[in-house]
Amino acid sequence: MYRSGAVMAWNVFKFCAALRGLGSIMILVVLGVVGVTYYAVVVCNYAPALVDGDLDSLIAVAVLILFHSLLVMLLWSYFSVVFTDPGSVPPNWRPELDEERGDTDPLTESEFGTASSDPVNLRVRYCRKCNQFKPPRCHHCSVCGRCVLKMDHHCVWVVNCVGALNYKYFLLFLFYTFLETSLATLALLPHFVAFFSDGEIAGTPGNLATTFLAFVLNLAFALSVLGFLIMHISLVAANTTTIEAYEKKTTPKWRYDLGRKRNLEQVFGLDRRYWFIPTYSEEDVRRMPALQGLEYPSKPDFDAQEF
Ligand SMILES: [Zn+2]
Ligand SMILES: [Zn+2]
């Protein structure tokens, strides 16, 4: 799905063109799901419950506060992924050729643009489509038509590549989407169950249909996002990207694996106050090369660094 073989090239080209064509429609789909959910949870069910009095009102206040807070974080993360450049290779970027032998990138085998018998040049990764050198962990995206730093995957939901500079925002988007869709599912559950009970149910047919639709959508999203979230947490814990996880199977020792805690910091930053919001502290951006996407600390040289 992510990499094209020669035989598949034409099909993949069609696939990529289709993805490009889909473009911003996906943003409307996301906003549509958010809109339906908002209407079902807030307008149809919990805002009216505010005037019920007693426990119902208290529950409604709690649900509404939590729902709106998560919605703000979800949309903030979402538009951060959509509008943040995942990272492109600076023009005239050249690899340093005097690196030690230990720095060989294990992914180079499939990526030699300039195959040579010279052992120094063997480490050079080159993109023939962009006609430029590739920094470590950089991959060419056929949908974007350019090289993306520490590319993870091209995400249709955010109409953007997920790479070095917006991966954290993508993870937070997954995280808040999971929380928000779970909350919506639980909040709508009693109203959904009411459909199948024998008694009279209150509400207009429109409200009932929206509630039904929103419940099914949110349950489906909560379950599928949970799977994605678990996969990405294990990727972050091992300091790999989705692409690298596919290619890494032949590499027993992963050079970027710095231990779970440090792997996490390489994506979320050192400043914990910024872990749950889609941005980094200025200091982190300055002191952490991984957040600029061109160099990554690896096992042998990590201990030599200050942090
Ligand atoms: Zn490229
Ligand atoms: Zn892309």
Q: What is the pLDDT of residue 198?
A: 67
Residue boundaries of the structural domains of the chain: 9-86+167-233
Query: Residue 238 C-alpha to ligand 1 middle, in angstroms?
Result: 25
**Cα 91 to ligand 1 centroid, rounded to whole Å:** 12
Q: What's residue 251's pLDDT?
A: 60
Would you call 155 a catalytic residue per the annotation?
yes
Q: What is the mean pLDDT of residues 217-229?
A: 96
Confidence tier at 100 by pLDDT (50, 70, 90):
very low
Q: What is the pLDDT of residues 185-222, one digit of tens each?
A: 999 999 888 877 766 667 788 888 999 999 999 999 99
Q: Which ligand is nearest to the CA of 151?
A: 2
Highest mean pLDDT, choosing among 26-35, 89-98, 104-113, 202-211: 26-35
Residues measured by CB to lie within 5 Å of ligand 2, the ion: 141, 143-144, 154, 161
C-alpha 173 – ligand 1 centre gap (Å):
27
What is the per-residue pLDDT for 123? 64
Ligand nearest, relative to CA of residue 152:
2
Among the residue ranges 19-23, 117-121, 140-144, 203-207, the one predicted with the least confidence is 117-121
Question: Residue 7 — pLDDT band, cuts 50, 70, 90?
Answer: very low
> Whole-number mean pLDDT of the chain?
84
CA of 125, nearest ligand number: 1
> 50-87: per-residue pLDDT in tens?
988 888 899 999 999 999 999 999 999 999 999 999 99
- Judged against a pLDDT cut of 50, whether residue 173 lies above it is answered with yes
Q: For residue 140, how far is its CA from the centre of ligand 1 (angstroms)?
A: 4
Ligand 2 centroid to Cα of residue 232, in Å, is: 18
8: CA distance to ligand 2 center in Å? 18
pLDDT of 91 above 60 = yes
Give the pLDDT of residue 307: 43
From 193-197, 278-282, 285-289, 294-298, the region with the lowest mean pLDDT: 193-197
Measure 23 CA to ligand 2 centroid, in angstroms: 11
Is the pLDDT score of 162 beyond 70? yes
H or E, element range at 168: helix 167-195
Mean pLDDT comparison of 118-122, 193-197, 269-273, highest-scoring range: 269-273
CB 183 within 8 A of CB 66: yes
The reported pLDDT for the residue numbered 194 is 83
pLDDT tens digits for range 238-269: 999 999 888 876 566 788 888 899 999 999 99
Residue 111: nearest ligand to its CA? 1
**What share of the chain has pLDDT > 90, as a percent?**
59
Ion ligand 1, residues whose Cβ is below 5 A away: 127, 129-130, 140, 147
Buried b / exposed e over 108-145, threshold 16 CB at 10 Å, is eeebeeeeeeeeeeebbbbbeebebbbbbbbbbbbbbe
115 or 55: whose pLDDT is higher?
55
Greatest Cα pair distance, the chain, in angstroms, is: 80
Which member of 44, 144, 147, 155 is catalytic?
155
* Ligand nearest to the backbone CA of 142: 2
Q: How far is the CA of 108 from the centre of ligand 1 (A)?
A: 14
Q: What is the pLDDT of residue 98?
A: 53
- CA 89 to ligand 1 centroid distance, Å: 9
Calpha distance 21→40 (Å, rounded): 31
Higher local confidence (pLDDT), 115 or 131? 131
Output the six-digit token pair for 103: 């720095």
For residue 141, how far is its CA from the centre of ligand 2 (angstroms)?
5
Which ligand lies nearest the alpha carbon of 243?
2
pLDDT at 23 over 70: yes
C-alpha closest to that of 293 among 130, 143, 132, 168: 168
Closest CA to 243 of 164, 129, 126: 164
